[in-house]
Amino acid sequence: MMVNECGHPLCKNCVENLFVRNAGPCHVCGKTLRKNNFWEQVFDDPLIEKETHIRRRLRKIYNLKKDDFPSLREFNDYLERFECLVCNLAFGIDVEDTEAEIAAFKEANAELIEKNKKRLDEDQIWIMQNLKEDRDMKTRVGQAHSQESKEVERSAVKDTKAIMEELRESNVPAEVILDRERKRQIEQELEEKEEAARRKKRNKEILQDRKRMAESMSFSTSQRVSGRAFEYKAPRLHINGPPLPVKEELETKGYLQHIRAASLARVAGGFTTHTGCLRALFDSRIDLLSF
């Protein structure tokens, strides 16, 4: 499928037939489109494809960095406004006003935008560093393989010289020496074949794992039905003792007076004073009626 800036997909043959004159209206929204602006659809959802195109276009204009703002608050407001503009264009909200705001921003910050085209942000620097590390690692691996090959060649030459020396000076028959060397070479070849087979099997398993991961991935926003939805059921605690008070009774009956108040960090994590109190009451009453 092919898609344009409006986000309505068309097959390749339809694009060729409908846009013979290199321009024409969209079959859904009627917007005038150019044939050379179509690209191959990557995401399953056309809306995500449209949003990605809008982000790519606006990133060329809204390319200001963190150090271009006097405070972190203003930089965060700038990022938030960028998301609002993307949302407006993606869902067709106040498109004319949004485009006018983008044009005004581009005109007001033309010099800074042009300057930042040559600068890398933190994410781009991180990506460049990782790519460099990958290249360095490949270089080291290649050098290690080359060194290993040279060592094998030197070892073969050394073994040949040792055999020639043994044949010249030893009293052992030449057939015995050559037969022994032939057996050693056969064993070495078998070991190399086994190692190559293990390496091939390991690489095949890695490729299969990656293939399964790729098949399980989806960029679609549509809900996938993959089985029965999870339904939470509160656990039933068999105390075998006096019943526990409900949560509302902990304060009215004074249970919380003897419990240390939970800190703000614990409350933020979902642990309240009531939790510790109920746990203590549960431990004190469990199995009291078992005998």
Spacing of C-alpha 153 from chain mean position: 43
- Stretch 6-35: mean pLDDT, rounded? 78
Reading phi first (left if > 0) and then psi (alpha if -120 to 50, else beta), residue 22 is in: left
Q: Which residue has the higher pLDDT, 127 or 218?
A: 127
- Stretch 252-261: mean pLDDT, rounded? 87
Domain spans in the chain, listed from the N-terminal domain onward = 2-116, 120-170, 174-215, 238-291
Is the pLDDT at 225 greater than 60, yes or no?
Answer: no
Q: How confident is the model at residue 236 (pLDDT cuts 50, 70, 90)?
A: confident
Q: Which residue has the higher pLDDT, 239 or 264?
A: 264
Mean pLDDT of the chain: 82
- Stretch 19-48: mean pLDDT, rounded? 79
Q: Which residue has the higher pLDDT, 290 or 142?
A: 142
- Stretch 164-169: mean pLDDT, rounded? 73
Q: How confident is the model at residue 217 (pLDDT cuts 50, 70, 90)?
A: low
pLDDT of the residue at 231: 86
The pTM assigned to this predicted structure is 0.46
Residue given tokens 């869902």 in the structure block: 91
pLDDT of the residue at 155: 73
pLDDT tens sequence across 52-95 = 888 988 988 988 888 888 999 999 999 999 999 999 988 888 88
pLDDT of the residue at 97: 92
pLDDT of the residue at 101: 92
The whole-angstrom separation of Cα 183 and Cα 204 is 31
pLDDT of the residue at 221: 46
Reading phi first (left if > 0) and then psi (alpha if -120 to 50, else beta), residue 263 is in: beta
